[in-house]
Chain A
Amino acid sequence: MAAGPRLSRQRLGDLTYDIVTGTCAAAVPFLLVLLVAVIARAAWPALSLHAADLLTGNTWDVSRGRFGALPAIIGTILSSLLALCIATPLAFGAAIFVSELAPRRLRAPISFLIDLLAAIPSVVYGLWGVFVLVPLLRTHVMPPLMAVFGALPLFRGPAYGPSLLAAALLLAIMILPYITAVSREVLVAVPRSQREAALALGATRWEMIRDAVVPYGRSGLIGAVMLGLGRALGETMAVTMVIGNRHAVPHSLLDPAYTMAAVLANEFAEASDDAHLSALMAVAGLLLVITLLVNVIARWLVWRVRQPQQRIAPRLA
């Protein structure tokens, strides 16, 4: 019976391993539940008293107990979407260049540099924004914009520098490496046969990329964009430093604005009365809900796009 103890020892090992990994796996959802519970509990007074005002109110006046978070909600969404509009074409261009067009010698260094951008802490981006981007915008970009397009409400002054535009540009630079890195991996993973088939049918290089490579990787590319959006929504320090921190819905790209994350970063430490603390917790909960929604939509988009994509045929004439 030499095999018996060894077997049971193996079983014990398996069992321990099961328990340890199972605990680890359970810890993550447990933390999420805990997080939501804590925020919901702390936010409850604000939500039960003035949920409607929180979602639709324009006035955030702590001393009079008015907590309308609409400016922060709009600022968060606008700055992130603008950043996405700026970053996505750039990121796709860079990813296509690296995966399809760049000479082999250039691929590794370019990829390395882009990945490096993702490793820079956001405070460093914020400092760069404060000392380089914002002064540049204030002195060399905003005055000509106001001079040329001043008639449009979108470009009305005064040119403070810290503004929705500054935040969107900085966010675009920050999310660029994420979108680029993921899209590059997606494009590299497109099978060689896909490209060869397109070329064999007489496609030019551009047609091959447009009709065979990009459609194949579509779900992955959408995932990359959504990852960027998720990051932009939650980014705090860098945005706080350049957005101007004003509780008002921006009417122009040059207006200062606010984001939900920035409100929390600025006001939480000195919030002393209960209504204020609770309203801030409600803003935190709202931010959590918005980011979760973005993730759910991303999953759904990826899933929807993947369905027909399996049978897509290259649209080649």
Chain B
Amino acid sequence: MTRRRLVAHIHPLIPRRQRARGATVALVALSGLAAACSTSSPSDRRDSSGNARVATGTRVDLTGAGATFPYPLYSRWFNDYAQRTDVRINYQSIGSGGGIRQMIEGTVDFGATDVPMTDAELAQAGTPVVHIPTVLGAVAVTYNLPELKRPLRVSGDLLGLMFLGQLTKWNDSRLRALNPDQPLPASDILVVHRADGSGTSYIFSDYLTSASAAWAAGPGRGKDVLWPAGIGGKGNEGVAGQVKQMVGSIGYVEVVYARQNFLPVAHIQNVAGRFISPMPYEIGSAAASAFNGAPSSRDLRSSLVNAPGDQSYPIASFTWILLAPERIGRAKATQLYQFLQWALADGATTASALGYVALPTVTATRVLALIDTLAAAPLAKP
């Protein structure tokens, strides 16, 4: 059985509808019909007749699918953008894996993911796919040690050993050395990880792979990891629930979730040797020097774990929007570029208000420069 058939089979509704809808929309957008509204559904017609728009009179619909982590922000961005222009963006939060899969299939106009596509996946897509960073994500390490008066301090090396099941007691001398004067109990370290595949697991295991030689030699990085120790919870809420209940436990959750639920978070040792808490400035700092190594590259898949910088939080990552400009054609690509330019410039305040970490100015400038280059570049196919 081919991949497409298998996928169509499992998500029978999503791709087909999007495919059909994408086709109509492309026709409308390209021919520039003034009567574009006649092809849209009655409910769309009703709200578009209401408010005055900055628009050209041409309705554009774009479809995307992918990561769940940025979904609250993206839906707000799409909504705000639709108020200002005639561009409607329909986004399905089906997970990073699904986003990449639909990008390879070509059933959506854009994808979104927390996990960069591998070279093999890029090759499978059969058309150039560009990664555009939109905001930053980070993973917080949460724990349940009611005795502690100050946040737990831990290094990547020790985290790796804990999640390997090789560091098993809280009062281990290596942990005590990092947390002098803290009453670490003599109990077992109870590890909680994600049971479902997720971008959060990818970022965390990417960090462990980079920070702990023992981890790199063992499980390595991935959306699904072969966890050698501990129990699995489904979703951020599953992991947080287990950690809240079990005294002596440690787990990892997405940072916005940790902040919204007031979970205790550990301070993690960064490359500069300092212990950093996952606050917006510290996460942003991790991205500041992301593209220094390759100033003109189009490949923005950089990993942010263990990023340099005194203040950088070490378990951070971009989340990306995936574009295949040659596949969707000039008209749609231009609309997406304009949206991204708006989102990275004017959308940053919305991102911060919702608890996300916007790209630092230097990084955003670099991403905008790439978008300008892409917009100016001639397309191989129309």
Contacts and interface: CB of A to CB of B under 8 A. Distances in A.
Interface stretch (B76-84, B225-233, B297-305): B225-233
Interface of A: 38, 41-42, 44-45, 59-64, 130, 134-135, 138, 157-162, 240, 244-247, 256, 265-267, 269-274, 276-278
A142 B287 CA distance: 46
Contact of B231 (A157, A162, A269, A277): A162
A208 B195 CA distance: 52
Interface string B233-255: 11000000110011000000000
A266 B232 contact: yes
Interface stretch (B50-58, B216-224, B270-278, B320-328): B216-224
B381 interface: no
22 contacts: A42-B6, A59-B226, A62-B226, A63-B222, A130-B241, A158-B168, A158-B190, A159-B188, A160-B190, A160-B230, A240-B195, A245-B195, A245-B234, A246-B230, A247-B226, A256-B231, A265-B234, A266-B196, A267-B195, A269-B95, A270-B95, A271-B197
A269 B196 contact: yes
Contacts of A278: 6
B230 A162 contact: no
Nearest to B229: A246
Nearest to B102: A272
B131 interface: no
Chain B interface bracket (under 10, 10 to 19, 20 to 34, 35 or more):
35 or more
A43 B220 CA distance: 27
B1 interface: yes
Interface of B: 1, 3, 6, 9-10, 95-98, 100-101, 168, 188, 190, 195-198, 219-227, 230-234, 241-242, 245-246
A212 B95 CA distance: 60
Contacts of B100: 272
Given A42-B6, A270-B97, A271-B97, A246 B231 contact: yes
B232 A272 contact: no
Given A62-B197, A62-B222, A246-B232, A45 B1 contact: yes
A160 B231 contact: yes
Contacts of A61: 219, 226
A287 to B, nearest CB: 17
Contacts of A162: 231, 242
A245 B97 contact: no
B224 A63 contact: yes
A246 B227 contact: yes
A267 B188 contact: no
A63 B234 contact: no
Nearest to B198: A270
